[in-house]
Structure 1
Amino acid sequence: MPDGTNPLLLRQDSETGVTRLTLNRPDSRNSLSFAMLGALQHALEEIARDARVRVVVLAAAGPVFCAGHDLREITAHRNDEDAGRGFFEAAMQRCATVMQAIVALPQPVIAEVQGIATAAGCQMVASCDLAVASEAAKFCTPGVDIGLFCSTPAVALSRAIAAKPALEMLLTGAMVPAAEAQRLGLVNRVVPAAELTAEALALAGQIATRSAHAVRLGKAAFHRQRGLPLDQAYAHCAAVMTENLLAEDAAEGIGAFLAKRSPVWQDR
């Protein structure tokens, strides 16, 4: 599979089914400009249709993972005839679309966080299914420091960690070190900086060896049931498991387990 060439968002596909997307605006701290959000949206739409992709790793170039929205771009639009309202609405909607696309993507998404992730950057990490962080990584939602509460990052953050620590981050804007982020549940693993990419790719590679059909069913069911009452969650997941049991890969996997051999997935 060929590597992507978008200068804002580099795409690299591997033969194992792991696709690595790299935010590539290091001079702007990988801030989420309108164009960057568009590149992300386009890439996620393409990946959702690409059965060759089994897992996505979302990384970033330079020392900062993502500094959130592009404040210079936002400030420039204050000179618009409507004082920026139209652009602000469009930017927030595009950002919300991207974050929801990460959650809705059939393939699992792993954030590979090498540095600071602030505001909408922290939101993006919280939106990913899994996250691996460098020991140097830090996380915060510092909107309150500039008179702008991180309301949209709060949506993802409050779904990734408990309410009280999420609200403390939102109300104080305090920087949370990687180890604390792991304790809160915002990231899964914290490793030395030199081991970060290898660790993220190893985790992605492990997931990529599983039935893509089962993983896709499971990811969708996991996110769906979280918003349901307990009885409806069980009903939904029971229906999903029934469909999963009827799939070729489930028959193959169970048969392989009983026969003590390795399964051969058909991804259906």
Structure 2
Amino acid sequence: MPDVVRTRREGAILEVTLDRPKANAIDLKTSRLLGETFQAFRDDAGLRVAIVSTAGEKFFSAGWDLKAAASGDAVDGDYGVGGFGGLQELRDMNKPVIACVNGMAVGGGFELALSCDLIYASEHSSFALPEIKAGTLADAATIKLPKRIPYHVAMDLLLTGRWMGASEAHRWGLVNEVLPADKLETRVWEIARLLAGGPPLVFAAIKEVARKAEAMEFQDAMNWITKRKFRTVDELYASDDNMEGFRAFAEKRDPVWKGR
């Protein structure tokens, strides 16, 4: 039997693959494994980009494992360090994460994709939040989705539980690109390699500022940047990398980012 959570490392890129037939559903144990994996990625200075993928072509992930719940897995149990799916509540995740969605992203599987910074999907992929039909709350999606797509579209998905195809998801800006299934992985790795060659301290600052500024007034957030109150901004402005781009331009060469 394959490992439920597999990793593949190429240079500064880590691919995390969930392989849990038949629907890549996530129980408590799997969520904790994912959390440990993403935490290790976050804390490894040699890794700069993560790809989140799943095995098979029918389901990206069906979300919460209802069979496990029926067998005693508590819905409010210990999901692990990163919350459900290991990623959506992981603190200080200041590295880019790419979702490679090939198949149905349902409920918590949809929320796992929403926890990523970029989403690439195959043409046959689809998205749904059926929790309303089970009389429960799609908690993370209710918080995140109205901030990602127009409010009325997000409410439509949340209130009806209907399916959204990949092309519609792309039209609303939820998905970055839609590709044929046989070209999806190649494109995701192309983007991952592009990001792996970018300035990691700038990426970290972008993610922290974007995340924390959501709860701040615009001018307050700008003042925090100017006064270097964001930890990642302070680290960036004090780094060698902060001047490397200017030096590289003046010397007519490609910048060499060292993350320090």
User: Shared topology, TM-score over 0.5?
Assistant: yes
Aligned to 2:136: 148
**Is the counterpart of residue 256 in structure 1 residue 256 in structure 2?**
no
The answer for unaligned runs of 5 or more in structure 2 is: none
CA deviation after TM superposition for structure 1 residue 166, in Å: 1.1
Aligned partner of 1:213 in structure 2 is 201
Partner of 1:80: none
Q: List per-residue Cα deviations over 1:164-189 (Å, max 9, x = no partner).
A: 21111011111101111112222111
- 1:187 alignment partner in structure 2: 175
Partner SS for 1:68: coil
1:228 maps to what in 2?
216
Aligned position for 2:88: 99
1:50/1:98 Cα in 2 relative to 1: closer, same or farther (>3 Å)?
A: same
Alignment coverage as a number of residue pairs? 253
Give SS of 2:221's match.
helix
Which runs of no fewer than 5 residues in structure 1 stay unpaired? 78-83
What residue number does 1:88 align with?
75
CA–CA distance in structure 1, aligned partners of residues 160 and 120 of structure 2: 24
| 1:101-140 map, 5 Å | 101=90, 104-140=92-128
- Residue of 154, 157, 162 corresponding to 2:145: 157
Q: Does 1:33 align with 2:27?
A: yes
Aligned mates of 1:146, 1:217 — CA distance in 2: 39
Which of 239, 245, 254 is 1:247 aligned to?
239
For residues 217-257 of structure 1, what are the alpha-carbon distances to aligned partners after superposition, in whole Å with 9 as ceiling and x for unaligned?
22222211122111112122332556523310121111111
RMSD between aligned residues: 2.1
CA distance in structure 2 between the partners assigned to 1:23 and 1:151 by the alignment = 22
1:265 to 246, 257, 260: 257
For residues 4-43 of structure 1, the aligned pairs below 5 Å read: 7-15=3-11, 17-27=12-22, 29-43=23-37
In structure 2, relative to structure 1, the CA distance for the partners of 1:228 and 1:168 (3 Å cut) is same
Verify: 1:54 aligned to 2:43, yes or no. Answer: no
Amino acid at match of 1:246: A
Contact 1:122-1:139 at 8 Å conserved across structures: yes
Q: Give the superposition deviation at 1:92.
A: 6.5
Q: Could you tell me which of 197, 204, 207 is aligned with 2:192?
A: 204
| CA–CA distance in structure 1, aligned partners of residues 33 and 242 of structure 2 | 36
Mapped contact 2:98–2:118 kept (Cα < 8 A): yes
Native 8 Å contact 1:226 1:233 kept in 2: no
The alignment's TM-score, normalised by the length of structure 1, stands at 0.87
Q: Is the 8 A contact 1:19 1:56 kept in 2?
A: yes
Residue 174 (str. 1) matches residue 166 (str. 2) = no
Q: What is the TM-score when the length of structure 2 is the normalising length?
A: 0.90
CA deviation digits over 1:67-112, x for unaligned, max 9? 01001111222xxxxxx7xx222157831863121x7312110000
Higher relative helix content: 1
What secondary structure sits across from 2:75 in the alignment? Answer: helix
Percent identical residues: 28
**What SS does the aligned partner of 1:99 have?**
coil
